[in-house]
Amino acid sequence: MYKFRALTYHAPPASGSLENYLSRLKIDELKCLAKELSKRREVWSLRVVCPPVYEASSIFNVNVEKFLEAFYDTVIEAANYVAFPLSRLNPVELADLMLSFERAYFSVAYTEELASEIIGALREVSERAGWLAGSRFAVSFGKRPVTPYFPVTTSEAEGYTLSLLYPSHIEKEVSEGGTFPDSLRKTALDAYRVAYEALDGVSAAAPLHGIDLSLSPWQKDSVAALIEKLQGKLFGNPGTISTVEALNEALRFLASSLKTTGFNEVMLPLAEDDRLKELVNIGQVTFKDFLYLTLVCVAGLDMIPLPSTTDDAVLKGVIDDLEAARKIKGRTLGMRILLVDAEPGTEVDLGFFGKTPVLDPLC
């Protein structure tokens, strides 16, 4: 059975005084809604997304650190994770914020002027906050959507979003004779039914912005394994890109008829997908494969460990390629790269993500 990967509360735009604003956040309602939802399906995490940080702190006439601390302290009792969208980037400041707020995620939207700061942030976060902290910083190529997926998200209006964990659920249905589009539609419709039943059980609830139907993995609940099931061959063999795009077409078609939000695409974060790790370890999938997949996959370059010795020019080339892929594709891409003190071909322990192979950015 599918699970709700995340129930996410998107805070309202900043207005009034900071104290009054914080008092209006529906944190108790988030907990009530989670309780109602959990009666029907398992809910893995509760999340809160802050409105754009620098703009909000300016409205409240406080410095960024004070605003982040006040917002974080207000919501963290109810939420597992908090997202802070940034509009500018200071590598040292970002590392300090990550050390101060251990369950906070940060993102910045790429601009050509920010390229050197992004590379500096990747290094600063790894060196000062640790390798795993790299999982809490992402770069958005294109406008950040309203989505429950972290770190590339934002809040534009108060309301809720949901995401699903369901690759294994879909794979089982396909194994029993169903088709991917039919299984996808049946699962999505059931998720909406469950979500609205839960909302009905909470008085004066903020609205549901929608469900992000993206196919995302978690360990053995693998998107790569589902793709292999559907195409009948190893992930990474010729035909993989067309299979991913076919899944995306089915997701987009369904999203056009439902109240969806966010990416609604296949996601392939290396550190979160056990089958992907196996394929990297046997040499079936390389860094360049992930890079090429960005043309059809929103998270084709996500949770990728690279050696900390990777040259800045190589990282700049990766950034340039992702921006080019974004222009070709016409949709937002996300990037999470973790710089680690390890050689390509070895594995690093990434905490609850497990052991993850280090890739060679030139292969």
The predicted structure's pLDDT at residue 298: 63
The predicted structure's pLDDT at residue 296: 83
Q: Which residues of the chain have pLDDT under 50?
A: none
Strand partners, 212: 163
Alpha helix positions (H), the chain? 18-24, 27-38, 53-59, 64-75, 91-100, 115-124, 167-175, 180-200, 223-231, 240-255, 274-281, 287-293, 312-329
**CA distance readout (Å), 119 to 101, 108, 290, 323, 336:** 21, 12, 19, 15, 12
pLDDT in tens, 59-75: 999 999 999 999 999 99
For residue 151, say if its preceding peptide bond is cis, omega within 30 degrees of 0.
Answer: yes
The predicted structure's pLDDT at residue 91: 97
The predicted structure's pLDDT at residue 299: 62
The predicted structure's pLDDT at residue 109: 97
pLDDT in tens, 170-208: 999 999 988 999 999 999 999 999 999 999 988 777 899
Predicted TM-score (pTM) of the model is 0.95
The predicted structure's pLDDT at residue 104: 98
Residue 49, class by beta-carbon neighbours within 10 Å (0-12 exposed, 13-18 middle, 19+ buried)?
A: buried
pLDDT in tens, 304-329: 999 999 999 999 999 999 999 999 98
